[in-house]
Amino acid sequence: MSLRARLALVIALLAFLPNLVLALTLGLMGEGPWLPLVLWLLLIALVSGAVGYFLARSLLRPLEELTRALAYLSVKEGPVNALRLPAPKEPPPMEITLLRARFGELLQRLQRLMEAREAFYGALAHDLKTPLLSAIRALEYLERADHLGREKRVELLLALRGELFQAHLLVENLLALSRLEARTPQRETLNLRALAEDLLLRYREEAGRRGR
């Protein structure tokens, strides 16, 4: 049963039950014939149902307007930063105003998260582009540099390897971040010594190339 139907039923019962009690009391006391009382109860039931329906519709109109506004946002195309809740046609009740404010805050938080994500991917693309572009230029130079000696060629190849290694690390970090976002964080015991040894083995070669 919908919220409107429940609210209409409650309003109708509140209007009908006192009349039902009064009619039954008069009937049991023998104050009149039963047929007029039954007809009166039927009329009161119809009037109570109509009043309950229209009152429920009026009370729920601001909530239905907010529902339509959210449905509009769900199908609207365009950037997230441009999403805004449409202004209400008439001033809503205080509860609906607070609800609209909370939805607005949630939308702003989503926009900030999207901006941070876009900035992160922009920086990542720039950091990934730099070593790849350097590697491409080094390869192009090696293709034309027939006069280079072995030592110079090895030096360029080592530099090329370092740039590609940096790009590889960026891709690994991106994949690790994607895996972390896809699962719920869980507590676990961490062996710091083993972690330090793993990092030492992983970056020892790079540190040696840089003379550190």
Parse the chain into domains and list their residue ranges.
1-75, 114-182+202-209
Determine the distance from the C-alpha atom of residue 45 to the mean position of all C-alpha atoms in its chain, rounded to a whole number.
Answer: 46
Six-digit token pair at 210?
């840089």
Quick: pLDDT tens for 143-184: 777 677 777 777 777 877 887 887 878 788 777 777 776 666
Which of 12, 19, 10 has its CA nearest to residue 38? 19
Residue 26: what pLDDT?
A: 66
| Reduced 3-state DSSP string for the chain | CCHHHHHHHHHHHHHHHHHHHHHHHHHHCCCCCHHHHHHHHHHHHHHHHHHHHHHHHHHHHHHHHHHHHHHHHHHCCCCHHHCCCCCCCCCCCHHHHHHHHHHHHHHHHHHHHHHHHHHHHHHHHHHHHHHHHHHHHHHHHHHHCCCCCHHHHHHHHHHHHHHHHHHHHHHHHHHHHHHHHHCCCCCCCCCHHHHHHHHHHHHHHHHHHCCC
- What confidence score (pLDDT) does residue 207 get? 65
**CA dihedral sign, ordered 145, 150, 156, 160:** positive
Whole-prediction pTM: 0.50
User: What's the CATH number of domain 114-182+202-209, 2.60.40, 1.10.287, 1.20.140, 3.30.960?
Assistant: 1.10.287
List the structure tokens of 92. Answer: 């809503």
Question: Could you tell me if 65 and 89 are in contact, meaning their C-beta atoms sit under 8 angstroms apart?
Answer: yes
CA angle 172–173–177, rounded 5-degree value? 120
Task: Give the residue ranges of the chain where pLDDT is below 70.
Answer: 1-4, 23, 26-34, 37, 78, 80, 146, 181-185, 205-212
